């Protein structure tokens, strides 16, 4: 019996070791297994109106002139009273659903007309056209909800419909109030026809009075069918990249435009009607509907490590537009507020990782996630100006985190440029404090990326590691994408000192773009990936954890040629990346003799095009990679197409 048990255990052990890791070839350098991930910031309408699948714009009547001079609580809503109905409408604040969500609408319906035959319908109510129209697809379900408080002594009947611009009903439902307290009402609308620019119409059908707030509409099909979830097609584009981590929620959104605008994570969890909305530093509104819970859940859903970045208790140095006078606008939290702020940082770790019996762990469990999120990284600060105020606060926060949570890897910050005063000071502070990882940011010319491929080869391996948290070359043409590809081979080569890297920004909505160069453009129904997206994806889905040099040979004097070879110890696969930034075909040679037996059928993916080629909404597929199965030998020649990235994935037989 004992023998049987031992055999079973041995079998299990062999099964586990055979299925989880292969032995990497000798001579490889261990590199980061978290190298390529995503940077997500709510810039360019990336969250509200973008990845966050909410279809109603200004759902809680919190838009206001601090966000845009012309905005007010009724922006993007229209008062309607078809069928010769009449009544009154007001925006009120005296008894809100929650104090974090102060504005709501009161509808006083004096007369519901019965002349629908002239206008098609009757009632007193509201219309919302979403973010440039609501996309409705025939046969799909839409989850409508609102909070209402009946102010009459009798129920108020409300019709809810999705209508095309001509007023034709595409989906219909109704709700009826039943309480004099705020209560949530829901209806499922099933679309009978499609339209890209539909509106949501809510009409009271009973004479009387009621208060309404948090009017929401989600497609039932969100990513992973999550309630309060993400737009499925956009989220899938990100999932397809298989990122090892996601950094969120920014960017400058983190440190905010002045102290009152800093992103405070605690305001973004819990029921959506209780979250604190605020001005988005990029000139619009954040509902916080896509909040910390949703970020963590998305990371978990796609197997990426969460990398939340918290403010270092200072605001953006460009607060109030002071970038125009040299970035002198940084404000610092008063020191007497620091103990509470530090507690807020520590609370995040407890919320993410603490047991359900802890007070913050219990909140996570109440939101539907009893198990810890396994938070490993916490970023403190976003490319802040390195002032004495910053240093003092960063030191206080990082010391407190280290002391209470030595298991957490802190990510520090080193200014907005690849060099200069903030860069040097940021690194010095990080090294003095033994911060394990430091966030570098740079946006620059493609030629800079080509000429600086050896930047990290010179980094001191005894100091902190690098998180290249934001980088991009200026543009979304092939020359930009391929310059980044060349640079990414250098990130792999230096994967022993570069722990993580993420292109920025990630998403940009057509016509709502504050930052010109982005990875994925989209409108309400079309996604336009850039060539840069395909480069990121080709690297991200082909990561390895061992780096091998001297596998690929090429003209070493030509710095427009770059290459790397990694092995993934989970699968044993050898992954070759060959980059040609020249505008002519160039020869390279591959020698795989150091590896054991290899499969002769390899998977080859090529992204190539002229230097100026790009994708547009008119032709979203102008530049796409092509994949094929190719026969290879241990040693072979490769002609790298002009302006191209090639990835060859080779299976080993060990």
- Residue 41 annotated in active site: no
Are the CB atoms for 151 and 109 separated by under 8 Å?
no
Q: Least Å distance between CB 466 and ligand AHR? A: 16
Radius of gyration of the chain (CA): 27
| Helix (H), strand (E), coil (C) string for 175-210 | EECCCCCCEEEEEEEECCCCEEEEEEEEEECCCEEE
Which listed range, 249-257, 460-468, 538-546, 607-615, lies at the site for ligand AHR (CB under 6 A)? 249-257
Per rule CB under 6 A, is residue 246 in the interface with ligand AHR?
A: no
Per rule CB under 6 A, is residue 417 in the interface with ligand AHR?
A: no
Nearest to ligand AHR of 287, 517 (CB atom): 517
Indicate which residue of 67, 383, 391, 614 is catalytic.
383
Query: Which two three-digit tokens encode residue 84?
Result: 């010769």
Per rule CB under 6 A, is residue 504 in the interface with ligand AHR?
A: yes
**Residue ranges in 38-77 that form contacts with ligand AHR under rule CB under 6 A:** 41, 43
Chain-centroid distance, C-alpha 257: 20
Nearest to 162 by CA among 114, 119, 130, 123: 130
Nearest to ligand AHR of 100, 387 (CB atom): 387
Whether omega for the bond prior to residue 249 falls within 30 degrees of 0, making it cis, is: yes
Q: Is the dihedral of CA 485, 489, 490, 494 positive or negative?
A: positive
DSSP string, 225-271: G-TT-BBHHHHHHHHTT--SEEEES-SHHHH-SSGGGS--GGGGSS-
Q: Least Å distance between CB 68 and ligand AHR? A: 19
- Binder of ligand AHR out of 121, 389, 470, 484 (CB under 6 A): 470
Per rule CB under 6 A, is residue 384 in the interface with ligand AHR?
A: no
Backbone φ and ψ of 534, nearest 5°: -65, -35
Nearest to 535 by CA among 446, 422, 435: 446
Per rule CB under 6 A, is residue 241 in the interface with ligand AHR?
A: no
- C-alpha span between 123 and 147 (Å, rounded): 19
Q: Least Å distance between CB 485 and ligand AHR? A: 20
Which listed range, 115-123, 153-161, 250-258, 567-575, lies at the site for ligand AHR (CB under 6 A)? 250-258
- Binder of ligand AHR out of 82, 96, 219, 250 (CB under 6 A): 250
Q: Which of the 8 DSSP states describes residue 272?
A: G
Nearest to ligand AHR of 389, 440 (CB atom): 440
Are the CB atoms for 166 and 181 separated by under 8 Å?
no
Q: Which of the 8 DSSP states describes residue 517?
A: -
- C-alpha span between 249 and 492 (Å, rounded): 26
Nearest to ligand AHR of 484, 545 (CB atom): 484
Q: Helix, strand, coil proportions of the chain in percent (round to 5)?
A: 25, 30, 45
Per rule CB under 6 A, is residue 382 in the interface with ligand AHR?
A: yes
Q: Least Å distance between CB 413 and ligand AHR? A: 10
Which listed range, 208-216, 246-254, 620-628, 629-637, lies at the site for ligand AHR (CB under 6 A)? 246-254
Per rule CB under 6 A, is residue 505 in the interface with ligand AHR?
A: yes
H/E stretch holding 533 reads: helix 531-540
Per rule CB under 6 A, is residue 519 in the interface with ligand AHR?
A: no
**Residue ranges in 14-43 that form contacts with ligand AHR under rule CB under 6 A:** 41, 43
Which listed range, 79-87, 248-256, 284-292, 388-396, lies at the site for ligand AHR (CB under 6 A)? 248-256
Q: Least Å distance between CB 506 and ligand AHR? A: 9
Per rule CB under 6 A, is residue 354 in the interface with ligand AHR?
A: no
Q: Least Å distance between CB 282 and ligand AHR? A: 8
Q: Least Å distance between CB 256 and ligand AHR? A: 11
- C-alpha span between 628 and 49 (Å, rounded): 37
Query: Which two three-digit tokens encode residue 380?
Result: 């403190």
Residue whose Cβ sits closest to ligand AHR: 251
Query: Which two three-digit tokens encode residue 137?
Result: 């697809």
Q: Least Å distance between CB 505 and ligand AHR? A: 4
Nearest to ligand AHR of 197, 322 (CB atom): 322
Per rule CB under 6 A, is residue 123 in the interface with ligand AHR?
A: no
Nearest to ligand AHR of 508, 588 (CB atom): 508
Query: Total number of residues binding ligand AHR (CB under 6 A)?
Result: 13
Which listed range, 2-10, 245-253, 268-276, 565-573, lies at the site for ligand AHR (CB under 6 A)? 245-253
Query: Which two three-digit tokens encode residue 645?
Result: 């990235």
- C-alpha span between 277 and 149 (Å, rounded): 21
Q: Which residues pair with residue 444 across a beta bridge? A: 473
Nearest to ligand AHR of 24, 416 (CB atom): 416
Nearest to ligand AHR of 506, 588 (CB atom): 506
Q: Least Å distance between CB 39 and ligand AHR? A: 7
- C-alpha span between 647 and 650 (Å, rounded): 10
Whether omega for the bond prior to residue 251 falls within 30 degrees of 0, making it cis, is: yes
Q: Least Å distance between CB 507 and ligand AHR? A: 11
Are the CB atoms for 499 and 411 separated by under 8 Å?
no
Residues belonging to the chain:
654
Give the x-and-dash track for 124-163 against ligand AHR (CB under 6 A): ----------------------------------------
Nearest to ligand AHR of 56, 254 (CB atom): 254
Nearest to ligand AHR of 41, 121 (CB atom): 41
Per rule CB under 6 A, is residue 383 in the interface with ligand AHR?
A: yes
Nearest to ligand AHR of 270, 505 (CB atom): 505
- Strand, coil or helix: 498: strand
The CA-based dihedral angle spanning residues 463, 469, 475, 481, taken in that order and rounded to the nearest 10 degrees: 70
175 CB neighbour count, 10 Å cutoff:
20
Q: Is the dihedral of CA 294, 295, 296, 301 positive or negative?
A: positive
- C-alpha span between 527 and 51 (Å, rounded): 12
Per rule CB under 6 A, is residue 262 in the interface with ligand AHR?
A: no
- Binder of ligand AHR out of 417, 448, 474, 515 (CB under 6 A): 515
Are the CB atoms for 502 and 247 separated by under 8 Å?
yes
Per rule CB under 6 A, is residue 474 in the interface with ligand AHR?
A: no
- Binder of ligand AHR out of 31, 80, 112, 252 (CB under 6 A): 252
The footprint of ligand AHR (CB under 6 A) covers 41, 43, 250-252, 382-383, 416, 441, 470, 504-505, 515
For the annotated catalytic residues, the residue numbers are 383
């Amino acid at each position: 019996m004992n023998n049987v048990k031992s055999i079973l255990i041995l079998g299990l052990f062999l099964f586990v070791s055979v299925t989880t890791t292969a032995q990497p070839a000798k001579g490889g350098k261990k590199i980061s297994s978290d190298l390529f991930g995503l940077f997500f910031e709510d810039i360019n309408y990336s969250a509200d109106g973008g990845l966050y699948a909410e279809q109603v714009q200004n759902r809680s009547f919190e838009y206001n002139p601090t966000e845009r001079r012309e905005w007010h609580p009724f922006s993007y809503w229209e008062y309607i009273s078809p069928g010769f109905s009449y009544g009154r409408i007001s925006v009120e604040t005296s008894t809100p659903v929650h104090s974090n969500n102060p504005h709501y609408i009161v509808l006083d319906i004096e007369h519901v007309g019965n002349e629908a035959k002239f206008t098609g319908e009757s009632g007193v109510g509201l219309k919302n056209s979403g973010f440039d129209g609501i996309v409705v697809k025939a046969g799909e379900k839409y989850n409508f909800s609102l909070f209402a408080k009946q102010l009459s002594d009798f129920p108020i009947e409300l019709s809810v419909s999705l209508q095309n611009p001509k007023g034709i009903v595409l989906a219909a439902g109704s709700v009826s109030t039943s309480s004099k307290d705020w209560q949530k009402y829901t209806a499922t609308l099933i679309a009978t026809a499609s339209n890209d620019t539909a509106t949501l119409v809510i009409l009271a059908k009973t004479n009387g009075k009621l208060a309404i707030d948090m009017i929401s509409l989600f497609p039932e099909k969100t990513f992973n069918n999550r309630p309060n979830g993400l737009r499925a097609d956009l989220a899938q584009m990100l999932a397809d990249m298989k990122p090892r981590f996601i950094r969120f929620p920014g960017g400058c959104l983190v440190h905010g435009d002045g102290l009152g605008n800093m992103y405070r994570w605690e305001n973004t969890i819990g029921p959506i009607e209780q979250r604190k909305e605020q001005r988005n530093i990029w000139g619009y509104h954040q509902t916080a509907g896509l909040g910390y819970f949703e970020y963590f859940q998305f990371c978990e859903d796609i197997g990426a490590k969460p990398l939340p970045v918290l403010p270092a208790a200072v605001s953006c140095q460009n607060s109030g537009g002071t970038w125009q006078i040299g970035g002198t606008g940084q404000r610092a939290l008063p020191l007497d507020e620091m103990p509470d702020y530090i507690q807020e940082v520590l609370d995040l770790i407890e919320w993410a990782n603490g047991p359900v019996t802890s007070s913050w762990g219990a909140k996570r469990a109440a939101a539907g996630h009893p198990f810890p999120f396994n938070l490993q990284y916490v970023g403190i600060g976003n490319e802040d100006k390195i002032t004495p105020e910053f240093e003092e606060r960063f030191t206080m926060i990082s010391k407190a985190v280290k002391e209470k949570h030595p298991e957490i890897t802190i990510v520090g910050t080193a200014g907005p440029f690849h060099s200069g005063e903030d860069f040097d000071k940021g690194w010095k502070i990080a090294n003095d404090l033994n911060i394990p990882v430091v966030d570098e940011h740079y946006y620059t010319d493609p030629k800079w990326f080509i000429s600086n491929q050896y930047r990290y080869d010179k980094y001191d391996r005894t100091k902190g590691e690098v998180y290249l948290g934001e980088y991009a070359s200026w543009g979304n043409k092939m020359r930009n994408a391929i310059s980044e590809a060349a640079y990414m081979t250098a990130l792999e080569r230096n994967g022993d000192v570069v722990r993580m890297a993420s292109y920025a920004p990630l998403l940009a909505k057509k016509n709502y773009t504050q930052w010109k160069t982005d990875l994925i453009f989209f409108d309400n129904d079309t996604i336009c990936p850039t060539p840069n997206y395909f480069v990121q994806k080709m690297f991200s889905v082909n990561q390895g954890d061992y780096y091998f040099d001297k596998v690929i040979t090429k003209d070493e004097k030509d710095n427009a040629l770059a290459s790397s070879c990694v092995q993934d110890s989970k699968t044993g696969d050898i992954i070759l990346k060959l980059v040609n930034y020249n505008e002519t075909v160039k020869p390279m040679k591959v020698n795989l003799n150091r590896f054991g037996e290899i499969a002769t059928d390899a998977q080859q993916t090529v992204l190539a095009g002229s230097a100026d080629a790009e994708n547009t909404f008119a032709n979203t597929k102008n530049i796409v990679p092509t994949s094929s199965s190719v026969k290879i030998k241990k040693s072979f020649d490769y002609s790298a197409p002009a302006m191209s990235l090639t990835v060859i994935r080779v299976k080993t037989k060990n």
